[in-house]
């Protein structure tokens, strides 16, 4: 068996996705997600110019060899574009192997460690009351873990809050140039404790509460936040400060017992090695699409298990349902899995293009028993939604200084 062709699709059913389709000479094909939010066409070019020509004619079952060939053979290692391209191919090859074996991916990895994958939902509001009401709505639907994000009074736009947009797809899919958003740490601190104080009072002690700072704070400000929110027993604080300087998290760790999560911008095991090994974090949030695929995520999960760090894969809407399916398989297998981010099944167009039978019920996701990843991609349904350039925002402090978005 050999790889006959590899197709790369960039479509925008509300927001952009890059989909890889590896086709064998027997007609069996596999799918992968290679989306990098705001840099989608860079991955498309990398795949079409530097990956596809090198893989046609190779054995699709040689997953490990192909992964090493793409990683070590390129000389220029790592980086989000390279690793997303590798990830798209890697997922597709695992999908093919599962189909050939007539087994779902999680069985190929070693079987189930759990019957269902715990999800956390999003609750974002314009006010504290609005945020808590939306959290209660998610709890009423069966979710036992909810991320709270609230608009900061005095700022026109706040990360994680939809504003006048109906969903994340409308929010993220219409930015032909990067919008610039203002940030104020002082204004954020003026409201954040009240949000979680009221949430605990109204939602009770059992629901798991999470929060994403999105790298807005300095290490010492992050330490202050951790101490401030300790009485409200958060499940984790995500991305409290920038990820590049990993010593930052040690400083935060010294000042708070709130579990810390980070890693959605990491793209290899080397990016998170020291954080895991030094036990500076409690949850590693690498995503299959951005960290080199299923092959790489297995290594990260196994390494993290040695140091009592759990996996909590990134699950924002910039990852396609193919990546979500890969995560559900990985999370079903991974012994040290913690929790999976979930923003819903996507809009009507997304659900038409990407079909799968993953069931979500009472805050749990149940893995597909279909061979491989258990997800399909309808090329014809994607045609009316061509790629549309759209960017993530840029953040500035009130004095105009560019800041971490």
A 10 A CB-CB count for 193 gives 14
Q: Which of 122, 211, 214, 327 is catalytic?
A: 214
CA separation for the pair 398, 155 (Å, rounded): 10
Query: Tokens in use for 171?
Result: 């929010």
Does residue 46 have an active-site annotation?
Answer: no
Q: Are 291 and 83 in contact (CB under 8 A)?
A: yes
Burial of 146 (C-beta count, 10 Å sphere; 0-12/13-18/19+) = buried
Task: Report the DSSP beta bridge partners of residue 183.
Answer: 397
With CA atoms as reference, report the closest residue to 379 among 109, 40, 8: 8
The position carrying tokens 């810390």 is 260
A 10 A CB-CB count for 161 gives 18
CA separation for the pair 91, 96 (Å, rounded): 9
Task: Report the DSSP beta bridge partners of residue 364.
Answer: 118, 361
Query: Tokens in use for 356?
Result: 């799968």
Evaluate the CA torsion angle 173, 175, 178, 179 in order and state its sign: negative
Does residue 214 have an active-site annotation?
Answer: yes
Helix axes 321-333, 293-305, angle to 10 degrees: 30
Q: Which of 46, 106, 120, 159 is catalytic?
A: 159
Integer angstrom CA distances of residue 368 from 105, 329, 345: 9, 8, 15
Query: What amino acid positions are annotated as catalytic residues?
Result: 159, 214
């Amino acid at each position: 068996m050999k790889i006959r062709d590899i197709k790369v699709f960039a479509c925008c059913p509300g927001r952009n996705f890059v989909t890889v389709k590896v086709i064998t000479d027997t007609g069996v094909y596999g799918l992968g997600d290679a989306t990098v939010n705001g840099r989608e066409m860079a991955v498309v070019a990398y795949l079409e110019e530097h990956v596809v020509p090198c893989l046609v004619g190779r054995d699709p079952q040689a997953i490990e060899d192909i992964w090493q060939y793409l990683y070590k053979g390129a000389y220029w290692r790592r980086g989000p574009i390279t690793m997303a391209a590798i990830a798209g191919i890697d997922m597709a090859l695992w999908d093919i192997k599962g189909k050939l074996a007539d087994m779902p991916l999680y069985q190929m990895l070693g079987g189930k460690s759990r019957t269902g994958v715990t999800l956390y939902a999003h609750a974002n509001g314009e006010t504290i009351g609005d945020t808590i009401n939306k959290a209660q709505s998610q709890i009423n639907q069966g979710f036992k873990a909810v991320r709270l994000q609230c608009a900061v009074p005095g700022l026109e736009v706040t990360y994680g809050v939809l504003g006048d947009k109906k969903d994340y797809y409308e929010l993220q899919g219409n930015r032909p140039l990067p919008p610039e958003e203002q940030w104020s740490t002082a204004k954020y601190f003026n409201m954040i404790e009240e949000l979680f104080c009221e949430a605990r009072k109204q939602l009770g002690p059992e629901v798991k509460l999470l929060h994403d700072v999105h790298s807005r704070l300095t290490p010492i400000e992050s330490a202050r936040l951790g101490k401030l929110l300790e009485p409200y027993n958060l499940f984790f604080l995500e991305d409290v400060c920038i990820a590049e300087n990993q010593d930052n998290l040690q400083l935060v760790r010294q000042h708070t017992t709130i579990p810390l999560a980070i890693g959605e911008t990491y793209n290899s095991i080397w990016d998170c090695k020291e954080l895991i090994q030094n036990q500076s974090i409690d949850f590693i949030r690498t995503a299959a699409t951005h960290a080199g695929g299923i092959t790489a995520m297995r290594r990260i999960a196994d390494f993290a298990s040695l140091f009592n760090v759990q996996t909590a894969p990134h699950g924002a809407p910039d990852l396609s349902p193919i990546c979500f399916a890969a995560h559900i398989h990985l999370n079903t297998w991974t012994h040290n899995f913690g929790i999976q981010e979930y923003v819903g099944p996507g809009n009507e167009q997304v659900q038409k293009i990407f079909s799968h039978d993953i069931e979500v019920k009472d805050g749990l996701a149940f893995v597909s028993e279909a061979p491989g990843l258990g997800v399909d991609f309808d090329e014809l349904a994607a045609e009316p939604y061509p790629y549309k350039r759209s960017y993530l925002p840029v953040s500035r402090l009130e004095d105009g200084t560019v800041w971490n978005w």
